[in-house]
């Protein structure tokens, strides 16, 4: 009597793990194969059978080639510079606007908010042609500025922080005013610390989006020293004409590593951040 329900539960549980496990193998296969190949010498890459762990480890050679034949570390530094600059400016622009829209009553507020809602509809690809022409006129193509400027405004960031500020009690702001804080001081010394959870969520979204972005840097940058990580791995592949797979897979591993490692360490926060803010 007691064993039958247990057995009834055991079968679905086993089936669940079987199906999910099989799916997990498919999801992970590219990652596993990428890392596995990045450890193999050329001779073992061109085998006609599947071998995961190489007989002869060539990790040192492959990873050295990956970071020396093209300036891969430079590309990653570029990625860091571009993503961090974008994020810092986005917050600096969005936070005061979000505060004003959430907490101050003024003529034109509805108009600004309406414009923000309209801008939420615009996909980044849709404005590529005119912004490219504008930057061409200004002579700032092929620069960090060309990669950063179009993303200095995140209407989504304003929207997200405004929603967050609506939940902040007015008493907090009134108390700060009583203490003699001006509106600017309130933004940076009261609202900024309060909004850390919203800013973190937005930061994850922003950094993931711009570290991984390929479309815009592809259009505006061609100087080798300005390439971002996605462009860098493609440049590496093109240089190799698709024959030196060990170093190529090492390069791919290095480029996905920062976000993947960050994700594995803080996955709960990442998933919440992406779902909260990724709902564009």
Partner 1 sequence: MSDQALHLSAAGPAPRSRAAARADRLRAMTAWALSAPAVILMALLLIGPVIGVVALSLTDYQLGAATLSYIGLDNYAEMFGDRVFHTALINTLLYVAVVVPGSVFLGLGIALLIESGTSGRALYRAIYFLPVMATLIAMAIVWEFMLHPQFGLINLALGRIGIPAQNWLTDGDLALWVLAAIGIWQAVGFNMVLFMAGLVSIPRFLYDAAEMDGVPGAWARFRLVTWPMLGPVTLFVVVITSIRSFQVFDTVHVLTKGGPNKATEVLLYTMYAEGFEFFRSGYAAAVTVVFLGFVLALTLVKIGVLDRKVHYS
Angle at 45 between CA 249 and CA 57, to 5 degrees: 80
Of the two residues 34 and 88, which places its CB atom closer to partner 1 in the complex?
34
Let me know: does 220 contact 146? Beta carbons within 8 Å.
yes
* 195 contacts partner 1 (rule: CB under 8 A): no
Cα(238)–Cα(234) distance, integer angstroms: 6
Q: Is 73 in the site for partner 1 (CB under 8 A)?
A: no
Q: Minimum distance from CB of 260 to partner 1 (Å)?
A: 6
Angle between helices 245-265 and 72-103 (to 10 degrees): 30
Give exposure, 175-214, as e/b (b: 16+ Cβ within 10 Å). ebeeeebeeeebbeebbeeebeebbebbbbbbbbbbbebe
Stretch that binds partner 1, among 53-61, 65-73, 96-104, 165-173 (CB under 8 A): 96-104
Please report whether residue 209 would count as binding partner 1 according to CB under 8 A. Answer: no
Question: According to the binding rule CB under 8 A, does residue 247 interact with partner 1?
Answer: no
Give min distance, CB of 3 to partner 1, in A. 20
* Cβ-based nearer residue to partner 1, 19 or 175: 19
Contact letters for partner 1, residues 147-166 (x by CB under 8 A): --xx-xx-x--x--------
Q: Is 16 in the site for partner 1 (CB under 8 A)?
A: yes
- Smallest distance from partner 1 to CB 184, Å: 7
Does position 233 interact with partner 1 (CB under 8 A)? The reply is: yes
Stretch that binds partner 1, among 28-36, 61-69, 80-88, 194-202 (CB under 8 A): 28-36
- Smallest CA-to-CA distance from 231 within 252, 217, 210, 249 is with 217
Question: Is residue 139 left, alpha or beta, with left meaning phi > 0 and alpha meaning psi from -120 to 50?
Answer: left
Of the candidates 50, 60, 178, 241, which one interacts with partner 1 according to CB under 8 A?
50
CB of 156 to partner 1, least distance (A): 11
Residue 270 binds partner 1, judged by CB under 8 A? yes
**Cα-Cα-Cα-Cα dihedral of 204, 206, 207, 209, to 10°?**
110
Other beta carbons within 10 Å of 158:
27
Which residues from 101-140 bind partner 1, rule CB under 8 A? 101, 104-109, 112, 115-116, 118-123, 125-134, 136
């Amino acid at each position: 009597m007691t064993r039958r329900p247990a057995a009834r539960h055991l079968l679905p549980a086993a089936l669940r793990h079987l199906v999910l496990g099989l799916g997990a193998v498919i999801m992970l296969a590219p990652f596993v194969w990428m890392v596995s190949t990045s450890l193999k010498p050329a001779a073992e890459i061109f085998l006609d059978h599947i071998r995961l762990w190489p007989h002869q480890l060539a990790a040192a050679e492959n990873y050295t080639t990956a970071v020396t034949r093209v300036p891969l570390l430079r590309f990653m530094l570029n990625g860091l510079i571009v993503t961090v600059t974008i994020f810092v400016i986005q917050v600096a622009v969005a936070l005061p606007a979000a505060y004003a829209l959430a907490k101050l009553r003024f003529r034109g507020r509805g108009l600004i908010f309406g414009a923000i809602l309209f801008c939420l509809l615009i996909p980044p690809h849709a404005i590529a042609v005119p912004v490219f022409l504008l930057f061409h006129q200004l002579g700032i193509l092929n620069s960090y500025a060309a990669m950063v400027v179009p993303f200095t405004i995140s209407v989504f960031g304003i929207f997200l922080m405004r929603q967050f500020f609506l939940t902040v009690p007015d008493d907090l702001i009134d108390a700060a005013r009583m203490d003699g804080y001006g509106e600017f001081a309130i933004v940076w010394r009261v609202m900024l610390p309060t909004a850390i959870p919203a800013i973190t969520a937005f930061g994850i979204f922003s950094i993931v989006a711009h570290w991984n972005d390929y479309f815009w840097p592809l259009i505006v940058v061609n100087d080798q020293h300005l390439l971002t990580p996605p462009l860098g791995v493609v440049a590496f592949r093109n240089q190799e004409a698709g024959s030196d797979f060990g170093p190529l897979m090492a390069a791919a591993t290095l480029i996905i590593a920062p976000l993947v490692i960050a994700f594995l360490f803080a996955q709960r926060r990442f998933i919440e951040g992406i779902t909260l803010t990724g709902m564009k």
